[in-house]
Amino acid sequence: MPRLTPDQLLQELTGAEDLLIVQDLDGVCMQLVKDPLTRRMDPSYVDAVAALDGQFVVLTNGEHEGRRGVNRLVEQALGNSDLPRHEGRYLPGLAAGGVQLQDRFGDLSHPGVSPAEMAFLAAAPTRMEALLMERLPGLLPQLGVDDLAEVAKAAVLDTQVSPTINLNGIFELVPADVSTQQALQTMLSELMHQLLAEAAGQGLEESFFLHVAPNLGRDAQGQERIKPAAAGDVGTTDIQFMLTGSIKEAGLLVLLNQHIQRRWGESPLGETFNVRTAPHDPEALLALVQQRIPAERMPLLVGVGDTVTSTASADGTGWLRGGSDRGFLNLLQDLGAWCGRSNRVVLVDSSHGEVDRPSHADRTLRGITDPEDPLRIDTLMPDGPEQYIAWFRQLSERRRVG
């Protein structure tokens, strides 16, 4: 079927009676940058979110709180660290893949997370730096100890519940050196698997998993595949050490459960439903909704993301599909097919920032989707976050007026 233009989608959503927009953040409403601490958020976007109270939630692998959290970006955008909490201007929804829940006043919780898990996560960034210092000298022999220490420190993102190693700054040291970039990706995977083994040694073998971004879907063991660096596309830049259950598909159901509770006064999946107790399999998640939520109570869902990948398999017999937004967008689409609503999938071109990503420019979407892809992308935003923000502001204004 032909895609909708942004204007056509705007017309369709303006009068929707029961709407829920579920939106990723980095690469969608902000340009992708090599150093997340340099991110900026448009004040007009924050205003538009506030006007859509009850109709908008975030679903991100980033985090709400901490010095790297999105809450700091909201405060910077509004020029006031107190105003967002007093006026309810923070971005509501789920962060860290689904384990960090926040309302618009910044009230935050981690449903289903144990003290032992939180303690291991708190120590993980320091351990990541130490492991990098063991492994980087062989890959970056041109750097001295002091420079390596600086590089390692910058690569570790010390977030509260999803500590991450980001290779963007290191890739800058070996531009266009694809073989070294691939070796760095392999090193990163081995390092993070060592951290998983250390967690298991403390009795936390079922507590964590690795989220690879971008990825090429999952292998036969259920682990996310690295997307190898290639000319013009660095592939995997981050691996996040995440709590089991922190998958956006499960997060989508948590947000849906809350939305129905607000609108209808009851939580069909239970008041304590969270991603740690939810099924992990997309088919099981879909079946749970079908069993517990009346189709007539389903809102019109709009999923907005930027990270969807598809690469031909080495033997040419199929496609390796992945990306951190693919799972929740697929489930959102399937929910619409089940309940008879035209749920919409919006994809924003995040190649305009500082990170090499496949572009929408030639409309082939090579590296993003393929002719056999079950994910139907309804609307493209080829001009990136600036185009999306302008469109989002229009939608917010029209629904406010309506």
For each successive 10 residues of the chain (402 residues), what is the average pLDDT?
94 97 98 92 98 97 94 97 97 96 97 96 98 97 96 95 95 94 98 98 97 93 94 93 95 98 97 95 97 98 97 91 96 98 97 91 92 97 98 96 66
CB 46 within 8 A of CB 89: yes
Cβ-based burial of 146 (10 A; exposed 0-12, middle 13-18, buried ≥19) = exposed
Decide: helix, strand or coil at residue 227: coil
Say what the pLDDT of residue 402 is: 60
Tokens 């951290």 sit at which residue? Answer: 195
Cβ-based burial of 384 (10 A; exposed 0-12, middle 13-18, buried ≥19) = buried
CB 290 within 8 A of CB 319: no
Say what the pLDDT of residue 35 is: 87
Q: Which two tokens stand for residue 126?
A: 């320091």
Say what the pLDDT of residue 113 is: 95
Q: Is 380 left (phi over 0), alpha (psi -120 to 50) or beta?
A: beta
